[in-house]
Amino acid sequence: MFSAKRFFDSKKNCEPPSKHNMQKALLIFIKNPALGKVKTRLAKTVGAQNALKIYQFLLDHTMEITYNLDSIDKYLYYNEFLPTKDEWPIDKYTKELQNGKGLGEMMKNAFKKKFDENYKKVVLMMPDCPKMTDNLIEKAFKNLDTSDFVLGPTNDGGYYLIGMKQYTPTIFENKEYGNDHVIEDTEAAIKQLAKTVFKLPALVDVDMEEDLGKLKKMIKE
């Protein structure tokens, strides 16, 4: 099984990644893993400790599928603070802080920052889907060659991934994140701009106990 700890324990490569030698940026939006602050809807039925355990598993999975994507600059965006020490090695991930009053504004600001840094393709992902793969991430970047946007839908009407090749703030504005029609509203905004969008396969976003699937074996009564 993939072990995030073994990468952190190695002190051989501890310099931050160079700024920047790629044209592609992957932004990974995460929450600082803390008891009672992650997967709160899931915690209502399985408990805060189990919810934290599930979230940590999803973070480890996210590292596993992104670690070797060396043709892409990877940015880890924390929601509350930048930890002085965690399992994400700084030679692979640049760590930044989410900035804004809500999820839409935070994503918009992150995209703006990367396009201001002259990236040509920017993709943002969430760490909530256990069936997310490195191939899906690479497919997202590849399809930006022929489409203006790429979206990865979730089973609950949201999205686990969004990417673009030109900064377009309007697709994040006037959206109610957390409801079951976020992706529908986002697609409508893209259509209104007369832009094209490529959709990746829909994945299960682990938010409720019924979303756990095989992860349910991790739950302790």
For tokens 């700084």, name the residue.
Answer: 90
- The whole-number average pLDDT for the span 151-179 is 94
73-78 and 121-125 strand pairing: unpaired
Residue 168 is part of which domain span?
4-208
> What's the CA gap between 171 and 190, in Å, rounded?
7
The larger pLDDT score, comparing residue 6 to residue 124, is at 124
> Could you tell me the CA-to-CA distances from 85 to 5, 31, 95 in Å, in that order?
11, 15, 11
Residue 154 lies in a domain: yes
pLDDT at 9: 45
Whole-model pTM? 0.90
Backbone angles phi, psi at 37, to 5 degrees: -120, 0
Which pLDDT value is given to residue 7?
44
| Contact in structure between 62 and 86 (CB atoms under 8 Å) | no
What was the pLDDT predicted at 17? 59
18 belongs to a structural domain: yes
Mean pLDDT over 131-138 rounds to: 98
What mean pLDDT is reported for the chain? Answer: 91
Task: State mean pLDDT over 149-171.
Answer: 96
Closest CA to 199 of 165, 167, 160, 172: 160
Please state the three-class secondary structure of 159-173 as a single string.
EEEEEECCCCHHHHC
**Is 66 within a domain?**
yes
Q: What pLDDT band is residue 162 in, cutting at 50, 70 and 90?
A: very high
pLDDT of residue 11: 38
- Position 22 scores a pLDDT of 75
CB environment 71-98: b (16+ within 10 A), e (fewer) = ebbbbbbbeeeeeeebbbbeebbbeeeb
pLDDT at 21: 58
Asked whether residue 174 is assigned to any structural domain, the reply reads: yes
Task: Report the share of the chain in percent with pLDDT over 70.
Answer: 90
Q: Is residue 221 part of a domain?
A: no
CATH of the domain at 130: 3.90.550.10
**Distance (Å) of CA 7 to CA 4, 24, 41:** 6, 23, 31
Look at 8 and 90; give whichever has higher pLDDT: 90
* Dihedral (CA of 11, 15, 21, 23) sign: positive
Compute the C-alpha angle 107/110/114, nearest 5°.
140
> Is 146 inside any structural domain?
yes
pLDDT at residue 6 is higher than 80: no
For residue range 10-53, list pLDDT tens digits in order: 433 445 555 555 799 999 999 999 999 999 999 999 999 999 99
Rg, C-alpha atoms of the chain? 17
Within a domain: residue 219?
no
CA dihedral 85, 91, 97, 102 (to 10 degrees): -120
Name the domain count of the chain: 1
Q: What is the mean pLDDT of residues 123-137?
A: 97
Residues 106-128, mean pLDDT to the nearest whole number: 98
What pairing do the DSSP bridges indicate for beta strands 94-97 and 73-78?
A: parallel
